[in-house]
Copies of this chain bind each other. A is one copy, B any other.
């Protein structure tokens, strides 16, 4: 049974769960199960599958459907499950959303179609029709680096009036934009504002944001949950201490290598070291070469977050 995310708006850490694969055609169900429990033990407030961190667009539809079903079953209602349905084809988005609804997911998340560049009016119409036809509530996903389309503030404001649109996940990395959203929705706290980049999690929440879709929470969920709570309570001393651990992860793990997908390579290598998955990335993305993998192996135990995770 789905939760009513409208009455009880989403708050906190909703990790974009990494998709653990045995290879390009098989889900790592054992690993996924272990990961889900790891996230829940860390106290996350929801789980978002098939986001950018989840390699959404690169895996086959068959695997996407399997992942949706498996995750919903494993989570079993303990936290809301959000399912990414971003697609260039409207029809395929609806199909995935149907699978999500049937599996018991609580909401879907969608970025604009990303092959053709869309005009602002086309973006607006797209999300209105999507929200009309979806069997689940929708969170907007602003991801201009990947979709080439920035959701303008006006577009988000207009869309927020749709009864089936519950919030925005902003991965633009533009703090001016995010803070403008916080200001624009100052009287509508039921519209959820989540930030993508974890390096901005604390500052966004301090300014009035509602949480984060933090990739690093796949490794160290409790760290991000604690940072969220510290920021939410305004405990600046805790924020400073935990933010340093988050920035250290960013510098040491995601900053290795120079690919656009270095973040994903670093994350999956680290998760492998930590015991979650075999490090496989869906083709055409590829895991780190051995040398960089060894580098990750050496760096990881020296991270502040590593011991933080251990002794929690």
Give residues in A with beta carbon < 8 Å to B.
24-25, 52, 56-62, 88-92, 112-119, 122-123, 125-126, 129, 145-148, 173-176, 178-180, 182-184, 186, 197, 199-200, 202-204, 206-208, 234, 236, 239-240, 243-244, 247-248, 250-251, 258-261, 282-286
A56 CB to nearest B CB, Å: 8
Given known contacts A114-B115, A203-B206, A234-B236, A89 and B125 CB-to-CB distance under 8 angstroms: no
Partner of A284 from B113, B184, B202, B285 at Cβ < 8 Å: B113
A85 CB to nearest B CB, Å: 14
Q: Roughly how many angstroms separate A114 CA and B116 CA in the complex, as a whole number?
A: 11
Q: A58 near B89 (CB under 8 angstroms)?
A: yes
Q: Which 10 A-B pairs have the closest CB atoms?
A: A183-B247, A57-B88, A117-B260, A175-B175, A60-B91, A126-B284, A203-B203, A57-B115, A176-B199, A175-B200
> Which has the most chain B C-beta neighbours within 10 Å: A61, A90, A184, A206?
A206
Q: A284 near B146 (CB under 8 angstroms)?
A: no
Q: A180 near B91 (CB under 8 angstroms)?
A: no
- A183 contacts across to B, CB distance below 8 A: 243-244, 247-248, 250-251
Q: Roughly how many angstroms separate A24 CA and B93 CA in the complex, as a whole number?
A: 14
17 A-B pairs within 8 Å (CB atoms) are namely: A57-B88, A57-B113, A57-B115, A60-B91, A89-B282, A90-B284, A119-B259, A122-B284, A122-B285, A126-B283, A129-B284, A173-B174, A174-B175, A179-B200, A183-B244, A203-B207, A236-B236
Q: A89 near B57 (CB under 8 angstroms)?
A: yes
Query: Can you name the residue of chain B whose Cβ is closest to the Cβ of A118?
Result: B284
- A178 contacts across to B, CB distance below 8 A: 175
- A206 contacts across to B, CB distance below 8 A: 203, 206, 236, 239
A134 CB to nearest B CB, Å: 14
Q: B176 near A24 (CB under 8 angstroms)?
A: no
